[in-house]
Amino acid sequence: MDVTAILQTFTILLFAHLLGDFPLQPERIAIRKGQIPILSIHIAIIAATAMVVLGYFAPAAILTIAVTHFCIDLFKSRKGTFNLAWFLADQGAHIAVVAAVSILWPADLSRSLIYGSMSPGELSAVLSAMMLGSGFIIAVLAGTYAVELFLKPFGEEIAGFEAGLKKGARAIGQLERLLVFVFIVTGQPLAAGLVIAARAIMAFGEMRNASDRKRAEYAMLSAFASLGWAVGIGYLAVWAAGLF
């Protein structure tokens, strides 16, 4: 078993999966994947992204990813509920498939139009960057859904609660997580700590001034859940990038 080839394949296919499932999946597709034609468009994007990022057509790997992604998403859309457990289970299943494909059919990067002519040093640098790119997508973009779904049960206790974060709140959360992630990746944990401290001070201020204590507690929980997610994923991405 060539562990290096497996790790390289996993890194490439993981990055492709995250690209296809987050930045390349508009919300209008995500909420309508129970419809076969809409789901088929998403699967075509997933397969095309895997092939492009891999740099050549590997039939067994790409078809396995496409078919299993179709089945997992269809099952979740028709049987699942919109909560954190289903979100994590869905992503865990997709990543497990990527891992299995990487073990069963490690990529032959000498055939790749992207990686075939790279030196070992250049390939290592690109794969490290891909790991960090995957971390960015999970921390900033996937984090939006993970945090929102984590907070949903708490928000439902608040009178007049509106499910889902408004665009402004989502953008603020993504910016906060981006700053923390970048500071951790660039080896500046003190700067990340300052962002967290500033957000904590704001959350405590909201608690002191709010007339509705539940809303204030919700705001504080939102801040710490969002930033905690970014910290954890940031350090995990740094560790994974260091494998190369």
Compute the distance between CA of residue 65 and CA of residue 58 in angstroms, rounded to an integer. Answer: 11
Q: What is the pLDDT along the chain (244 residues), one digit of tens a residue?
A: 789 999 999 999 999 999 999 999 988 888 888 899 999 999 999 999 999 999 999 999 999 999 999 999 999 888 877 789 999 999 999 999 999 999 999 999 999 999 999 999 999 999 999 999 999 999 999 999 999 899 888 766 665 555 555 677 788 889 999 999 999 999 998 888 888 887 777 766 665 555 556 666 777 788 889 889 999 999 999 999 999 9
Q: For position 224, what pLDDT does the model report? A: 85
pLDDT confidence of residue 38: 93
φ/ψ of 222, rounded to 5, equals: -60, -45
Tokens matching residue 44: 């075509």
Q: What is the pLDDT of residue 45?
A: 96
- Predicted pLDDT at 28: 85
Question: What's the pLDDT at 27?
Answer: 83
What's the rounded Cα separation, in Å, for the pair 194 and 130? 27
Per-residue pLDDT, 3: 93
pTM: 0.90
